[in-house]
Structure 1
Amino acid sequence: MQRRLFALTIALAAFGAHTAVLAATVGQPAPDFSLTDVNGKTVRLSDFKGKHVVLEWNNPGCPFVRKHYQGNLQALQKEFTAKGVVWLAINSTEDASADYKTPPQLARWMAEQKAAPTAVLMDEEGTVGKAYNARVTPHMYIVNAQGRLAFAGAIDSIPSARVSDIDKATNFVRQGLNELLAGKPVSVAQNQAYGCSIKYKSAAG
């Protein structure tokens, strides 16, 4: 029942978003997408079929995002990309927002953090964010090697902006990836993400 209600919620949210063609639902094929990275290269989710993929919704202006980069999210990125996992950081902040960073600015910020995602992608129109019903930063997703959405929700179990809480929390991304890499189902497949609301471009924009 909980899974059906979750699917209904994100389906209704996507129906109301003009740019969303297909709603992302845990257990179902993840919506494919094509975005440009901060270096101008086109990246498609379908390019990584056969690999586990993490989608990280990112906004450097958000204290919850800064918390996790100050707390060494970079190590998590490096740990799993070294195991063949693809990590895509996606920024859906509209260009009229004070939090918006141009591709060079976002690339510079990620470099300053010594971040290690596979790619940093620009989604200024919000098309991909709305298709995945990404609501906050960081909102985290895992797409399994079969191309199905295996996890959607919070990065960890303590919804605070305090770096000191990281070590006490259960990291759902690490847990889910370790389970998938061990050939097991993800034990916590969905939960409520926490963070800063994504500044989407309005339908009239």
Structure 2
Amino acid sequence: MMLQVGQPAPDFSLKTTTGTTFRLRDLRGRHVVLYFYPKDDTPGCTTQACTFRDQYEDFKDLGAEVVGVSSDSEKSHQKFTAKHNLPFELLADENGTVRKLYEVPRAMLGLLPGRVTFVIDKDGVIQYIFNSLTGATDHVSKTKEVLRGLPA
């Protein structure tokens, strides 16, 4: 069973595309859009990442930071970030530890890693969860709606 709205978002540390360590707790005081996606440079994942990129300033204006997580390597994330000029961090969860921590289910009869987005408020509490493998751009529009309803 996946985490629920109202629960504290589990803290974690992962490597970024720049080789630094990302810690969720370091973003306390800001809203976080934490999105889990299946794989770099696949059609749906590219569409999702580029939609977040194209609306990134809207997220910043809403007091939120966007962070993507997949099991791809740092090197894969570096290429994906450079190719699509992504302004936000992608985190390498190569062994799936954070995916398990967030209880992100697998999709397509368990064959693919799921696509789930969490909106975490500035106090570290989960305010919204959206789970849809096929609605890549819906992850962006729906999280913006939720963020508009949160205090900045």
TM-score category, normalised to shorter length? 0.7 to 0.9
1:27 and 2:6 equivalent? yes
Counterpart-to-counterpart distance in 2, 1:84 and 1:31:
20
- In 2, are the aligned partners of 1:35 and 1:43 still within 8 Å (CA)? yes
Contact 1:54/1:88 (<8 A) preserved: yes
**Largest Rg, 1 or 2:** 1
TM-fit CA distance, 1:25: 2.4
Q: Match of 1:145, SS?
A: coil
> 2:23 aligned with 1:44, yes or no?
yes
Runs (4+) off by over 6 Å? none
Distance 1:137 1:77 in 2: 22
Q: Note closer, same or farther for the CA distance 1:113–1:137 as it changes in structure 2 (3 Å cut).
A: farther
Higher relative contact order (CA 8 A, sep 6+): 2
Per-residue CA deviation, residues 158-181 of structure 1 (Å, 9 max, x unaligned), is: 9457xxxx59x9921111111114
Return 42-51 or 78-87, whichever deviates more.
Answer: 78-87
The alpha-carbon deviation at position 145 of structure 1 amounts to 0.9
**What is residue 108 of structure 2 aligned with on the other side?**
none
- Matched to 2:67, the amino acid is L
Cα distance in 1 for residues equivalent to 2:69 and 2:75:
14
User: 1-side partners of 2:33 and 2:141: how far apart?
Assistant: 13
- With the length of structure 2 as denominator, give the TM-score of the two structures: 0.79
Equivalent residue number for residue 54 of structure 2:
75
Q: 1:104 to 1:174 in 2, by over 3 A?
A: same
Question: Which amino acid counterpart does residue 33 of structure 1 have in structure 2?
Answer: F
Residue 128 (structure 1) aligned with residue 98 (structure 2): yes
Q: Unaligned 5+ residue runs, structure 2?
A: 106-112
Mapped pair 1:141 → 2:118: yes
State the secondary structure of the residue aligned to 2:150. Answer: helix
Q: Which whole-Å CA distance do the structure 2 matches of 1:170 and 1:52 have between them?
A: 14
8 A contact 2:115–2:131 mirrored in 1: yes
Corresponding position: 1:66 with 2:36 = no
Distance in 1 of aligned mates of 2:20 and 2:49? 24
Deviations 1:29-79, CA, capped at 9 Å, x for gaps: 111111111221111111111110110113224432123345x33122232
Q: Provide the identity percentage.
A: 26
- Separation of aligned partners in 2, 1:60 and 1:137: 13
After TM superposition, the score normalised by the length of structure 1 is 0.61
Q: Aligned equivalents of 2:83 and 2:69: distance in 1? A: 17
Determine if contact 1:76/1:174 at 8 Å carries over to the other structure.
no
Structure with greater strand percent: 2
Q: How many residues align?
A: 144
Contact persistence 1:36–1:42 (CA under 8 A): yes
Structure 2 contact 62–147 (Cα < 8 Å) conserved: no
